[in-house]
């Protein structure tokens, strides 16, 4: 495994990436993050009751396709970033935390989206019914927690050094 990663890190492709492709790729990664977490966050907040007056939940769900656009941007850019310095990430606990938060965030997002399918148009109007089911609210809180944690883990990951990781490969 480590041998393969070392080969990847020493490949001409990784060299090309590290030479000048890093800034544009990290930029795309930030844009994808803003799109994914920003729009998922708006959906979550609506489910939690912020701005609920007259804002139909079924209509808010239409933003999910843009959320997925952000996800694919970040999956592709993330794989490219990983291939530049695999040994910075592969043994890094923060990286594992970040990936765990992302996977959890995706699963919870999908569950939330499914549970909102049963939410009819009556939730669009003001009044007691405008508030979403308790299950959806719990999922929305968890989703926010996962994505914020993923961002924080990612930021601390950028500042973790090779020495902290203990791998010493390469």
Partner 1 sequence: MMSIVLAAASTAASAVAGAGGVIHAAAGTVPAAAAAVHATASAAAASTQSVAAQMAALTAQAEAQYKALQAANAAAHPILYWMKMTPVGAWVRNSEWAFPFLQSWHFIGMTMLLGVVGAIDLRVLGVARAIPLAPLHRFLPLAFIGFGINLITGICFFCHDPWVYAFNTSFRIKMLLILLAGLNALWFRLGVFLDLDRWGPGIEASRLAKVISAVSILIWLGVITAGRYIAFT
Which residues of this chain interact with partner 1, rule CB under 8 A? 22-23, 26-27, 30-31, 33-35, 37-39, 41-42, 45, 50-51, 53-56, 58-60, 62-63, 66, 148, 151-152, 154-156, 158-159
For the bound state, the minimum distance from the C-beta of residue 119 to partner 1, rounded and expressed in Å, comes to 14
How many CB atoms lie under 10 A from the CB of residue 62? 9
Task: Identify which of residues 5 and 36 has a Cβ nearer to partner 1 in the complex.
Answer: 36
Cβ count within 10 A of residue 127 = 10
Let me know: does 60 contact 43? Beta carbons within 8 Å: yes
Nearest alpha-carbon partner for 40 in 107, 96, 117, 100: 107
Residue 91 C-beta: closest distance to partner 1, Å: 19
Q: How many residues does the chain have?
A: 170
Which of 22, 162 has the CB closer to partner 1?
22
Instruction: Write the CA distances from 73 to 33, 35, 51, 52, 164, integer angstroms.
Output: 9, 9, 29, 30, 29
Q: Are 52 and 119 in contact (CB under 8 A)?
A: no
Based on CB atoms, which residue is closest to partner 1, 5 or 73? Answer: 73
Least distance (Å) between residue 166 CB and partner 1: 18
Indicate left, alpha or beta for 150 from its phi (over 0: left) and psi (-120 to 50: alpha).
alpha
Task: Name the minimum Å distance from CB 50 to partner 1.
Answer: 7
CB of 33 to partner 1, least distance (A): 7
- When the beta carbons of 5 and 81 are compared against partner 1, the nearer one is 81
Nearer to partner 1, 61 or 91 (CB): 61
């Amino acid at each position: 495994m480590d041998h393969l990663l070392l080969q990847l890190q020493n490949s001409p492709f990784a060299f090309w990436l590290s030479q000048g492709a890093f800034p544009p790729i990290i930029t795309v990664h930030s844009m994808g993050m803003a799109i994914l977490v920003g729009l998922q966050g708006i959906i979550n907040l609506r489910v939690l009751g912020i701005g609920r007056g007259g804002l139909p939940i079924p209509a808010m769900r239409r933003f999910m396709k843009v959320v997925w656009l952000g996800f694919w941007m970040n999956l592709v850019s993330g794989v490219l970033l990983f291939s530049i310095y695999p040994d910075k990430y592969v043994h890094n606990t923060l990286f594992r935390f970040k990936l765990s938060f992302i996977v959890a965030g995706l699963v919870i997002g999908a569950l939330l989206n499914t549970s909102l399918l049963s939410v009819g148009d009556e939730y669009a109007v003001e009044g007691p019914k405008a508030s979403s089911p308790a299950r959806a609210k719990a999922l929305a809180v968890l989703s926010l927690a996962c994505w914020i944690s993923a961002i924080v883990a990612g930021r601390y990951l950028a500042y973790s050094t090779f020495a902290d990781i203990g791998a010493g490969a390469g």
